């Protein structure tokens, strides 16, 4: 804190004590009064939290990593710091594949600015990615971005609210995994920021994002915005680089694989490099053969599991060897998972594994009901009874019946307490099966080892493919021996089994699935020919046109 800030902070505290006793600083001649320009800042807990960073810790973090920056990172760092220091308006997009050091750079920029008592807001499109950023939150929760978006949407932030004050004071906003988010969310943010920033100057309404300095980052090879039943063109059009705002962004590219550089074992460096090159080629769709307008790629033998009569058992044995004996080992489920393209296959694998395991199964049933009365006025309501609601299954929503055993791995489906490491995508191990709460231990992200309790919640699916809204009161969790590829985005695992009984169906899914592992020994792939008889070939889906509009 500067001396002036410190003085204001103390005077506010004294004023609070005096007021509690019916007095005020004004009653004492000669007493200084708090600087009015700083008062709102010190009574805003959101701002106070952002100013709480320990300057010496920030400086130490910055100084110990600054010298490690490679040339590309350094030039991006200089560009952004220059912009913030000189209060120049700037919108940037840091484009780099996984491992190029985007997070490393965000952390360094944040440490630098926070060491100077400047406010940096760190957000990410997914809860998992937000946990990797210091003080990170999901963009939707931070900026009140509505789930349902259109061309006129604005964010739920009042112009005279503490959050609006925080946004006005923030000198840099960093948003990771931006390509996953629909462009309409950025456009809503743009409209809201222009409005919020007019409190400082009316002319800000004419500047993109009201003149804020914003850094977006991500990888267009990964999964793009998910829009149910959308065509390829609609998905490409929903990406941030199809937005009218894109022309204002300066694209800063990272190309050097720093994960590879920091690998300690030099002996297998060449092998690791070949593996990362292969992953990139899959991501760009530049290997394989086009047959019947579909891109077929040959999976190298070293990753393949050749299916027997029971492919589900084959993949379980490969990823969870000796699962019954290893069941009690806490670390066993920590960073391994089977990935599949669809929810149905994922459920089949999860149910199968739970049956194999020892222990008493406990079933939790949900209470389902329709929300409001207006949403289904043009539907015959007689058939919308409880049994019907109980049967509804959709992605991001636990099923009506949740069957659990102590010791099984689960994944959280909602943000419960992001600051405490409990966000959508956090993995946990069930420790207690209570009646009203489930006790669990966090095994992924920044709070590994923490013991937590998960309550039932009212969950409203944003799109269940039905013409009315309903809510399900259930624990916001699913089993996660297996999970969908989309859900795995942002996770780093040591052992991944990709189960392709049906091939991937959307851009980036194959790339995301194979790039979850840190080394090639951790990757196994099983193709059990539903669409082709050859279990060494699978489809890859890459919307190459997405890459045309980046630079
Ligand atoms: N300049 C650097 N010096 C040393 N290590 C670095 C540097 N840049 C990045 N790293 C390390 O390389 C690894 C990958 O970096 P990082 O996680 O920042 O990449 P990323 O682009 O965010 O990847 P992803 O998109 O997969 O999250 C990390 O272990 C990070 O600490």
Please state the pTM of the whole predicted model: 0.86
Ligand 1 center to 200 CA (angstroms)? 37
In this structure, are residues 180 and 218 in contact, taking their beta carbons and an 8 Å threshold? yes
Ligand 1 center to 35 CA (angstroms)? 42
Range name among 312-316, 341-345, 356-360, 518-522 with the lowest pLDDT average? 518-522
**What pLDDT shows up at residue 208?**
97
Atom number, ligand 1, closest to the C-alpha of residue 96: 21
Per-residue 3-state assignment (H helix, E strand, C coil) for 188-206: HHHHHHHHHHCCCCHHHHH
By most ligand atoms within 8 Å of CB, the mutation choice from 99, 107, 132, 174 for ligand 1 is 99
Ligand 1 center to 439 CA (angstroms)? 33
- Higher pLDDT pick, 26 / 253: 253
Other beta carbons within 10 angstroms of residue 455's beta carbon come to 11
By most ligand atoms within 8 Å of CB, the mutation choice from 63, 66, 71, 104 for ligand 1 is 104
Question: Which amino acid residue places its CA nearest to atom 4 of ligand 1?
Answer: 68
Q: 477 pLDDT exceeds 80?
A: yes
Q: 374 pLDDT exceeds 90?
A: no
In this structure, are residues 357 and 403 in contact, taking their beta carbons and an 8 Å threshold? no
**What pLDDT shows up at residue 463?**
65
Ligand 1 center to 102 CA (angstroms)? 6
Helices (H), 420-501: 485-488
C-alpha–C-alpha distance, residues 531 and 488, integer Å: 24
**What pLDDT shows up at residue 44?**
76
Ligand 1 center to 258 CA (angstroms)? 5
Question: Which amino acid residue places its CA nearest to atom 25 of ligand 1?
Answer: 98
Ligand 1 center to 101 CA (angstroms)? 3
Ligand 1 center to 427 CA (angstroms)? 22
**What pLDDT shows up at residue 381?**
62
**What pLDDT shows up at residue 277?**
93
C-alpha–C-alpha distance, residues 93 and 189, integer Å: 16
Question: Which amino acid residue places its CA nearest to atom 14 of ligand 1?
Answer: 99
In this structure, are residues 490 and 425 in contact, taking their beta carbons and an 8 Å threshold? yes
Three-state secondary-structure class, residue 186: helix
C-alpha–C-alpha distance, residues 196 and 198, integer Å: 6
Q: What angle do CA 147, 149, 150 make, to 5 degrees?
A: 170
Question: Which amino acid residue places its CA nearest to atom 1 of ligand 1?
Answer: 69
Question: Which amino acid residue places its CA nearest to atom 6 of ligand 1?
Answer: 258
By most ligand atoms within 8 Å of CB, the mutation choice from 103, 179, 489, 491 for ligand 1 is 103
Question: Which amino acid residue places its CA nearest to atom 31 of ligand 1?
Answer: 104
By most ligand atoms within 8 Å of CB, the mutation choice from 75, 76, 132, 262 for ligand 1 is 262
Query: C-alpha dihedral over 303, 306, 312, 313, to 10 degrees?
Result: -100
C-alpha–C-alpha distance, residues 140 and 119, integer Å: 19
Question: Which amino acid residue places its CA nearest to atom 3 of ligand 1?
Answer: 68
Q: For the residues 182-189, what does the mean pLDDT come to? A: 97
Crossing angle of helices 311-319 and 343-356, rounded to 10° = 70
Ligand 1 center to 260 CA (angstroms)? 9
C-alpha–C-alpha distance, residues 428 and 379, integer Å: 40
Q: 419 pLDDT exceeds 60?
A: yes
CA distances from 434 to 321, 354, 357, 366, 453 (A): 29, 18, 19, 15, 10
Atom number, ligand 1, closest to the C-alpha of residue 492: 26
**What pLDDT shows up at residue 246?**
97
Question: Which amino acid residue places its CA nearest to atom 15 of ligand 1?
Answer: 101
Question: Which amino acid residue places its CA nearest to atom 16 of ligand 1?
Answer: 101
pLDDT tens string 139-185: 998 999 998 899 999 999 998 888 998 999 999 999 999 999 999 99
By most ligand atoms within 8 Å of CB, the mutation choice from 134, 255, 258 for ligand 1 is 258
**What pLDDT shows up at residue 465?**
67
Characterize 81-117 residue by residue with b for buried, 16 or more Cβ atoms within 10 angstroms of its Cβ, and e for exposed.
bebbeeeeebbbbbbbbbbbbbbbbbbbbbbbbbbee
Ligand 1 center to 99 CA (angstroms)? 5
C-alpha–C-alpha distance, residues 268 and 249, integer Å: 39
Ligand 1 center to 132 CA (angstroms)? 11
> Torsions phi, psi of 321, nearest 5?
-65, 140
Q: Which tokens go with 357?
A: 């395991």
> Torsions phi, psi of 137, nearest 5?
-135, 165
**Which residues form the pocket of ligand 1, taking CB atoms under 6 Å from any ligand atom?**
68-70, 73, 96, 98-104, 258-259, 262
**What pLDDT shows up at residue 334?**
83
Mean per-residue pLDDT over the chain, rounded:
89
Q: If you ran DSSP here, which 8-state letter would residue 249 be given?
A: P
C-alpha–C-alpha distance, residues 238 and 187, integer Å: 11
C-alpha–C-alpha distance, residues 491 and 128, integer Å: 7
Atom number, ligand 1, closest to the C-alpha of residue 73: 1
Q: 108 pLDDT exceeds 90?
A: yes
> Torsions phi, psi of 200, nearest 5?
-90, -45
Going by pLDDT thresholds of 50, 70 and 90, the confidence category of residue 3 is confident
The predicted complex's ipTM stands at 0.98
Q: 210 pLDDT exceeds 90?
A: yes
C-alpha–C-alpha distance, residues 12 and 25, integer Å: 9
Ligand 1 center to 77 CA (angstroms)? 14
Q: 486 pLDDT exceeds 60?
A: yes
Q: For the residues 395-406, what does the mean pLDDT come to? A: 92
**What pLDDT shows up at residue 379?**
60
C-alpha–C-alpha distance, residues 224 and 454, integer Å: 30
Q: For the residues 188-201, what does the mean pLDDT come to? A: 95
Question: Which amino acid residue places its CA nearest to atom 8 of ligand 1?
Answer: 101
Q: For the residues 176-196, what does the mean pLDDT come to? A: 96
Ligand 1 center to 98 CA (angstroms)? 8
Domain range annotation of the chain:
3-43, 55-253, 290-527
C-alpha–C-alpha distance, residues 116 and 130, integer Å: 23
How is 317-386 classified by DSSP, letter by letter? HHHSTTHHHHTT-GGGGTTEEEEESSHHHHHHHHHHHHHHS-S--EEEE-EEEE--SGGGTTS-GGG--H
pLDDT tens string 114-149: 999 899 999 999 888 888 898 888 899 899 999 889
Ligand 1 center to 154 CA (angstroms)? 34
In this structure, are residues 98 and 129 in contact, taking their beta carbons and an 8 Å threshold? no
Question: What is the fold, at CATH topology level, of the domain defined by 55-253?
Answer: Rossmann fold (3.40.50)
**What pLDDT shows up at residue 377?**
56
Question: Which amino acid residue places its CA nearest to atom 13 of ligand 1?
Answer: 259
**What pLDDT shows up at residue 42?**
66
C-alpha–C-alpha distance, residues 423 and 5, integer Å: 34
Ligand 1 center to 134 CA (angstroms)? 15
Atom number, ligand 1, closest to the C-alpha of residue 515: 26
Q: Across the chain, how many H-helices and E-strands are there? A: 20, 23
Going by pLDDT thresholds of 50, 70 and 90, the confidence category of residue 265 is low
Q: 376 pLDDT exceeds 60?
A: no
Ligand 1 center to 544 CA (angstroms)? 26
pLDDT tens string 80-93: 999 999 999 999 99
C-alpha–C-alpha distance, residues 338 and 349, integer Å: 9
pLDDT tens string 10-39: 887 787 777 666 677 877 888 888 776 666
Q: Which tokens go with 381?
A: 């309501």
Q: Which tokens go with 275?
A: 């593996």
Q: For the residues 386-398, what does the mean pLDDT come to? A: 87
Q: For the residues 240-269, what does the mean pLDDT come to? A: 86
pLDDT tens string 305-337: 999 989 999 999 999 999 999 988 878 888 899
C-alpha–C-alpha distance, residues 176 and 134, integer Å: 12
């Amino acid at each position: 804190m500067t001396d002036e800030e410190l003085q204001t902070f103390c005077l506010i505290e004294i004023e609070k004590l005096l007021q509690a006793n019916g007095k005020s600083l004004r009653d004492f001649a000669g007493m200084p009064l708090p600087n009015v320009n700083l008062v709102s800042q010190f009574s805003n807990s959101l701002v106070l939290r952002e100013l709480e960073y320990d300057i010496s810790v920030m400086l130490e973090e910055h100084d110990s990593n600054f010298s490690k920056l490679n040339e590309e990172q350094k030039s991006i760092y200089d560009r952004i710091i220059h912009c913030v220091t000189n209060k120049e308006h700037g919108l940037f997009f840091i484009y780099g594949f996984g491992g190029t050091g985007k997070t490393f750079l965000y952390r360094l920029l944040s440490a630098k600015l926070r060491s100077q008592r400047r406010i940096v807001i760190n957000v990410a499109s997914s809860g998992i990615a937000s946990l990797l950023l210091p003080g990170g939150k999901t963009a939707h929760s931070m900026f009140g971005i509505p789930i349902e978006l259109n061309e006129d949407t604005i964010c739920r932030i009042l112009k005279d609210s503490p959050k609006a004050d925080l946004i006005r004071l923030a000198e840099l906003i960093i948003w990771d995994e931006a390509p996953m988010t629909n462009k309409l969310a950025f456009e809503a943010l743009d409209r809201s920021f222009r409005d919020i920033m007019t409190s400082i100057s009316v002319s800000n309404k004419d500047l993109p994002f009201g003149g804020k300095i914003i850094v977006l980052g991500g990888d267009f090879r990964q999964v793009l915005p998910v829009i149910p039943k959308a065509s390829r063109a609609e998905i490409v059009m929903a990406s941030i680089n199809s937005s009218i705002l894109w022309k204002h962004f300066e694209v800063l590219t990272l190309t050097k694989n720093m994960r590879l550089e920091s690998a300690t074992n030099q002996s297998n460096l060449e092998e690791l490099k070949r593996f990362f090159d292969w992953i990139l080629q899959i991501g760009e769709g530049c290997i394989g053969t086009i047959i019947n307008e579909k891109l077929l790629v040959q999976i190298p033998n070293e990753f393949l599991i050749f299916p027997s009569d029971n492919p589900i058992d084959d993949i379980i044995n490969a990823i969870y060897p000796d699962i019954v004996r290893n069941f009690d080992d806490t670390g066993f489920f920590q960073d391994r998972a089977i990935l599949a393209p669809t929810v149905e296959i994922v459920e089949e694998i999860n149910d199968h594994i739970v049956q194999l395991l020892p222990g008493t199964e406990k079933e939790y049933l949900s209470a389902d009901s329709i929300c409001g009365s207006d949403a289904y006025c043009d539907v015959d309501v007689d058939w919308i009874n409880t049994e019907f609601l109980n049967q509804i299954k959709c992605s991001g929503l636990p099923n009506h019946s949740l069957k659990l055993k102590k010791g099984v791995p689960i994944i959280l489906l909602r943000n419960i307490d992001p600051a405490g490491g409990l966000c959508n995508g956090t993995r946990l191990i069930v420790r207690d099966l209570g009646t009203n709460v489930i006790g669990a231990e966090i095994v992924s992200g920044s709070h590994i080892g923490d013991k937590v309790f998960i309550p039932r919640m009212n969950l409203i699916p944003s799109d269940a493919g039905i013409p009315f809204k309903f809510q399900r009161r259930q624990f916001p969790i699913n089993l996660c021996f297996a999970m969908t590829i989309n859900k795995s985005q942002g996770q780093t695992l040591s052992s991944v089994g990709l189960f392709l009984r049906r091939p991937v169906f959307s851009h980036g899914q194959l790339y995301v699935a194979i790039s979850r592992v840190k080394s090639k020994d951790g990757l196994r792939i099983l193709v059990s020919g539903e669409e082709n008889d050859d279990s060494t070939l699978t489809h890859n889906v890459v919307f190459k046109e997405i890459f045309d509009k980046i630079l």
